[in-house]
Structure 1
Amino acid sequence: MGKVISIINMKGGVGKTTLCVGISDYLAEIGKKVLLIDADPQFNATQSLLDQYKASDNSFYTSQVINKEKTIFRLFSTTESLTKAYEYPTVDELKVALTDNLDLICGDLRLVLSNNSSNARFAKRIKTFIDKGNLKDKYDYIFIDCPPTLTIYTDSSLIASDYYLIPNRIDRYSIIGIDSLQSAIKGLISEEELPLKCLGIVYTMVYKNPPQKQEDLRQSFESKKSLEGIDIFSSQTTFYKSIQFGKLGANPTNYIKAKQDIIAVSRELMDRIEKEEKDVQRSNIIS
């Protein structure tokens, strides 16, 4: 069965969306069936992928996505009548097919206006959407680009996920985001009794020749008690000015050196999931 992976950090500016887009695009390129769900109200993942695959139509997002209600906003809409149950759309009604192997459920700025963290019914909308559509049978990987804040969409993304991955940029404030994230996830796992597992931390936007100050920050970060039990990927992504300037768009797979980083992270991610699955199977046999 396919796996659902949330890519998340409570701190912005860590390259979360860039990593999510890059991994999704690369895995689709090598033949994996991938669905990317953009649950971040900033919808940068949507803009990045539409700029690449639908660039010939400048009005695509407005005419073919917003006007046809093909965004994640539809999953969090309310019913018109209190007596009428919410009807889930099918994946074909929501998705935008980018390639033969890569589909996108677009993000929507309107999520900011509709966020209601007190409406617990919304918390399982993404999971129910995936389950009802048997999407784990249709896709090898479903990636969710999560908001960098605690919202009902964050909860919904995590509840739907088998795993979560933490992109992290080494700076003096990075530990704050990890602390907040781990605290929130531990609470959610306890309340919802989730089998949610952390795949680890991926260092992002690392300087090719990091100054001693950054190395000191890395060591200080890794010594924090809150990181106990969290693995750190051996692969990482490097800071490239070319991506910041965006000459070839925001997708890192469009840049030779950045793509090499994405390939390494993607392969390690697949290996980690495979190992987790084997450990679970071994545990089930023993028990």
Structure 2
Amino acid sequence: MSEQMQEKDGKVISVINMKGGVGKTTLSIGLADFLSEKENLNILLIDADPQFNSTQGLLDNYKSSGYGNDDDVNYYNEVVIPAEKTIYKLFKPQIDMSVSYETPDKDDVIINLKNNLDILCGDLNLVLVNKVSDHTFVKRIRNFVEDKELRKIYDYIIIDCPPTLTIYTDSALMASDFYLIPNRIDRYSIVGISSLQKAVNNLIREERINLKCLGLIYTMVNKSLSPKQEKIKSSFESKREVNDIDIFSSSMSLANNIQFGVGGTLPTKYKNSREDIEAITLELIDRINQIDR
């Protein structure tokens, strides 16, 4: 893991929507990769989604000698899982009451992918955490960030959140300074936004946290919207739940090569998607700077 000499004051950003299939993972890994490379910032991506698609996308690109080679795609199973270097280590239930829980050391769970980019891998076992009644679990990610002084190491910590209300979703939001909402233009998009805003407002009220929305980013956008899509977009933006949310001027275009291309799922590997990510990144940094001022 690369650590620069000067102490940082890192920001934690959750990428979240209560609706699946909105490009959340693509946006998360794209931002993490671009910020680490083009902006030369130190980035940690935390994969808090049990489907761990962010983990697979980044490991395929940076821990495989050739994308799609059967001998390479087992890095997660052959290296990560045996070493228990996943987010589940933060949430592992206590089985011995005489031994108190201790926050894992960062080197025991974080994997370096390349210069300036690290990952805390996702884990399907996260689904077991939601059966735990211990409310202190919602503080596990925040405590990890604070106890290990990760803000002094990373410029940005990006958390890829699941599209469900869970203990680990709350834990991600509890650890965050900001949250970012990726959203598709379809007739059901308001459902995910409404659920998310209710959940966030409840968490802010109950836990007294200072969590700010950076805005909404349209994803999987066609180059030219049809009249029907324009109508759906206009209707969506007129809803009460969206009134208080700023909408990014930049967006993520629909790109089939991210899903099906031989170059993998990392959007920064493709020209058009990389340009989208660059525009979003610059707007994101500007928004954070404005809030800080």
Q: Could you say which residue in structure 1 is the equivalent of 2:42?
A: 33
**In the alignment, which of 260, 269, 272 is matched to residue 287 of structure 2?**
272
Residue 58 of structure 2 corresponds to 49
1:16/1:145 contact within 8 Å kept: yes
In the superposition, relative to structure 1, how do residues 207 and 117 fare at CA in structure 2: closer, same or farther (>3 Å)?
Answer: farther
Q: In structure 2, how many angstroms separate the alpha carbons of the residues matched to 1:117 and 1:151?
A: 11
Match of 1:79 among 87, 94, 108: 94
C-alpha contact (below 8 Å) 2:129/2:168 kept by paired residues:
no
Letter in 1 for 2:182: P
Q: Which residue of 1 aligns with 2:180?
A: 165
Identity of aligned residues (%): 56
Q: How does 1:47-126 map to 2 (within 5 A)?
A: 47-56=56-65, 57-116=72-131, 118-126=133-141
Task: Give, as a single letter, the amino acid of the residue that structure 2 aligns with 1:215.
Answer: E
Q: Quote the Cα distance in structure 1 between the aligned partners of 2:128 and 2:157.
A: 26
Residue 247 of structure 1, CA deviation: 1.9
Contact 2:47–2:161 at 8 Å: present in 1 too? Answer: yes
Q: Does 1:251 align with 2:259?
A: no
The structure 1 residue matched to 2:18, chosen from 7, 10, 18, is 10
Shift of 1:83: 2.7
Opposite residue 209 of structure 1, the aligned amino acid is S
Q: How much does 1:209 deviate?
A: 1.4
Q: Distance in 2 between matches of 1:205 and 1:117?
A: 36
Cα distance in 1 for residues equivalent to 2:107 and 2:116: 14
Any idea what the Cα deviations from partners look like across 1:49-79, whole Å, max 9, x if unmatched?
Answer: 0010011333311121000000000000022
Residues 177-200 of structure 1 show CA distances to partners (whole Å, capped at 9, x for unaligned) of 000000010000000001000000
Deviates more, 1:203-212 or 1:114-123: 114-123
Equivalence map 1:184-263=2 (5 Å): 184-263=199-278
Q: CA deviation at 1:244?
A: 2.4
Q: Does structure 1 conserve the Cα–Cα contact (< 8 Å) formed by 2:46 and 2:157? A: yes
Tell me which residue corresponds to 1:283. Answer: none
Q: How many residues are paired up?
A: 278
Q: Does 1:128 align with 2:143?
A: yes
Question: Quick one: distance in 2 between partners of 1:12 and 1:257?
Answer: 23
4+ runs of 1 displaced by more than 6 Å?
none
Decide whether the 8 Å contact of 1:175 with 1:221 is kept in 2: yes
**1:115 CA displacement:** 2.2
Question: How far has the Cα of 1:110 moved from its partner?
Answer: 1.1
With normalisation by structure 1, the TM-score equals 0.95
Question: Partners in 2 of 1:49 and 1:261 — Cα distance?
Answer: 19
CA distance in 1: counterparts of 2:119 and 2:174, whole angstroms: 20
**2: CA distance between counterparts of 1:129 and 1:111?**
16
TM-score, normalising length: structure 2: 0.93
**What runs of 5+ residues in structure 2 fail to find an aligned partner?**
1-8, 66-71
Which amino acid is 1:139 matched to? Answer: Y
Q: Cα offset for 1:117?
A: 5.7
Counterpart secondary structure, 1:235: coil
| Structure 1 residue 43: Cα displacement | 0.1
Considering only aligned residues, what root-mean-square deviation do their CA atoms show, in Å?
0.9
Residue pair 1:117, 1:151 contacting (<8 A) in 2 also = no
Shift in Å at residue 250 of structure 1?
0.6
Structure 1: how far apart are the matches of 2:132 and 2:178? 22
- Deviation, 1:100, is 1.2
Paired amino acid for 1:43: F
Deviation at 1:246, TM superposition (A): 2.8
Q: Is contact 2:19–2:192 with CA below 8 Å preserved after alignment?
A: yes
Q: Please give the alpha-carbon distance, in whole angstroms, between the structure 2 residues aligned to 1:48 and 1:12.
A: 17
The answer to whether the Cα contact below 8 Å between 2:129 and 2:167 also exists between their aligned partners in 1 is no
